[in-house]
Amino acid sequence: MYIGRFLVLGKTDEGNPFVTYRVSSRSFPNRVAKVMNNETVAILPKDLEEMFKNPYITYNCVKLVGDVAVATNGSHTDIIADKIKLGLPIRDALSYSLLTMDYEKDDYNTPRIAVVITKDEAYMGYVTDSDVRIKKVELEAGKAYYLSVYEACKITEHQVISVTGKTAEDVTKFVMDYEEFEKPVTAATVLVKDGFKLSTL
């Protein structure tokens, strides 16, 4: 099944919260996730000239702000992180940013999806051309929820997978190799364990 770009939010079997973002793409498969300054993960085309073909293929997908981690499928990563840095509560930062940025104005009206986590809290949010939702999510060890731009743009207990692995690297590899969702390109994980651990693949 092809669900495009997606986020996976959950806890490892050891109870450590994490969020993984995976790029799945049919149109722009030549991209990488790169850690910048130990606090940001950027999605970049391997051929930088491709960034002029589509404004939505180059962006920061992860940003760390103090004890908060933001992960999204687009440029709203920076907006959400900036609002949190200014002191807005997580729910307000998500709501404001998603409503302001709105869905992507491409040929598919691609939704914007987002996850924000701390060691104690987790939120999911999205905006489509017909809906917007923000929800605080309770996490359980060994269980994860996914939220995608196609086919699965809902916050529901039915969109669940069991992610195995103890480290950020383990989780990233698991999500990258998850065969049910087609066309993997690159992935990045933030795992909360004695601070934030970043991993890309």
Distance CA 140, CA 123 (A): 14
Q: Supply φ then ψ for residue 19, to 5 degrees.
A: -135, 135
Note the pLDDT of residue 64: 98
Give me the mean pLDDT over the 168-184 stretch.
97
Note the pLDDT of residue 153: 98
DSSP H helices, the chain, are: 76-85, 90-101, 168-176
pLDDT digits (tens, 9 = 90+) for 98-109: 999 999 999 999
pLDDT digits (tens, 9 = 90+) for 15-52: 999 999 999 998 878 899 999 999 999 999 987 777 77
Q: What is the CATH number of the domain that holds 22?
A: 3.60.20.20
Note the pLDDT of residue 196: 98
Taking the CA atoms of 151, 129, 131 and 114 in sequence, report the sign of the dihedral they define. Answer: positive
Three-state secondary structure along 136-154? ECCCCECCEEEEECCCCCC
Residue ranges making up the domain that contains 35: 6-200
Does residue 1 lie within any of the structural domains? no
The distance in angstroms from the start CA to the end CA of the chain is 21
Residue keyed to tokens 């590899």: 173
Neighbour count for residue 159 (Cβ, 10 Å): 18
Model pTM above 0.85: yes
Domain count for the chain: 1
Does residue 182 lie within any of the structural domains? yes
Does residue 35 lie within any of the structural domains? yes
